[in-house]
């Protein structure tokens, strides 16, 4: 079975099929996710939290990301593999090109993900012109946690919401292939999803996004605390494989997230 391409993910949006995405960090879980029909595997810098036990993602290195991307790519055959560019790995055009090249060349990624608004537009444009597909990331951006003052919903203030809409459009115009919205009000997420042509993947952004992503450890109840935007799918299923399958089915059917997993 051939891997899903970015063009096929774009087709998902056009025909209204939801995109199921989850974080993944090794070959064994990649095989489980693949077998369950997961569309996108995100090798997230959230590994700093769930694998390393750190409070933030800021200590994750490009070497960490290349290492884990390599095994996720090896363990999967169908899912599109997207990899986070870690903190300060894309501060300049030169840094972004060098590090993204490693993620695609050594790690086997098909797409990289970058956090940030207006200031990353030129970075996104530079990467896409050089053949690197980019997923942008707006809303709660964990790499900016010290700047934004904690893990809290972004975009409730009208001026911030308007800036996010404008950033989303500008990033899409710059060549971004996909957009992640994290912890933003559902109405704002719907507005952004409807206003750009690229797929929008939500996490704590309501059901109207083109797809959903969860941290794997939240999905299977392995986190210390399952956050509001997530659901422990293992609680009602007999195995990890069944839990992952239930998550994929719920995303595809539009029954996850529910109001209890979303923000006003």
pLDDT digits 0-9 by tens, 81-108? 999 999 999 999 999 999 999 999 999 9
Which pLDDT score, from 0 to 100, does residue 224 have? 86
pLDDT over 90 at 150, yes or no: no
Catalytic residues: 182
Burial class (CB in 10 A: 0-12, 13-18, 19+), 190: middle
Rounded CA Rg of the chain: 17
Residue 182: name the closest of 99, 83, 104, 257 by CA: 257
Taking CA atoms, 227 is separated from 106, 174, 232, in Å, by 33, 33, 10
Looking at the DSSP bridge assignments, the partners of residue 42 are 23, 82
Give the three-class secondary structure for 212.
strand
Select the CATH number that applies to the domain covering 6-261 from these four: 3.40.50.620, 3.20.20.60, 3.40.50.1100, 3.40.47.10. Answer: 3.20.20.60
Q: For the residues 12-34, what does the mean pLDDT come to?
A: 98
Q: What is the pTM of this model?
A: 0.97
Q: Write the CB contacts of 152 (distance below 8 Å, at least 6 apart in sequence).
A: 140, 183
Domains in the chain: boundaries:
6-261
Mean confidence (pLDDT) of the chain = 97
């Amino acid at each position: 079975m051939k891997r899903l391409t970015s063009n096929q993910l774009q087709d998902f949006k056009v025909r209204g099929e939801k995109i199921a995405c989850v974080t993944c960090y090794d070959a064994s879980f990649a095989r489980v996710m693949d077998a369950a029909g997961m569309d996108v595997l995100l090798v997230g810098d959230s590994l700093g939290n769930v694998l390393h036990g750190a409070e933030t993602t800021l200590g994750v290195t490009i070497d960490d990301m290349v290492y884990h991307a390599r095994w996720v790519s090896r363990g999967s055959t169908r899912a599109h593999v997207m990899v986070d560019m870690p903190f300060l790995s894309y501060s300049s055009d030169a840094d972004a090109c060098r590090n993204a090249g490693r993620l695609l060349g050594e790690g086997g990624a098909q797409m990289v993900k970058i956090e940030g608004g207006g200031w990353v537009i030129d970075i996104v444009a530079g990467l896409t012109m050089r053949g690197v597909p980019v997923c942008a990331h707006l809303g709660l951006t964990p790499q900016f946690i010290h700047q934004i003052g904690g893990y809290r919903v972004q975009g409730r203030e009208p001026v911030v919401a308007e800036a996010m809409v404008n950033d989303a459009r500008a990033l899409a115009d710059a060549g971004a292939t996909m957009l992640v919205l994290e912890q933003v009000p559902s109405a704002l997420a719907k507005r952004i999803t409807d206003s750009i042509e690229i797929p929008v993947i939500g996490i704590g952004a309501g059901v109207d996004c083109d797809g959903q992503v969860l941290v794997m450890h939240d999905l299977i109840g392995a986190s210390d605390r399952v956050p509001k935007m997530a659901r422990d799918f293992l609680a009602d299923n007999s195995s990890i494989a069944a839990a992952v399958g239930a998550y994929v089915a719920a995303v595809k059917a539009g029954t996850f997230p529910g109001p209890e997993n979303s923000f006003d």
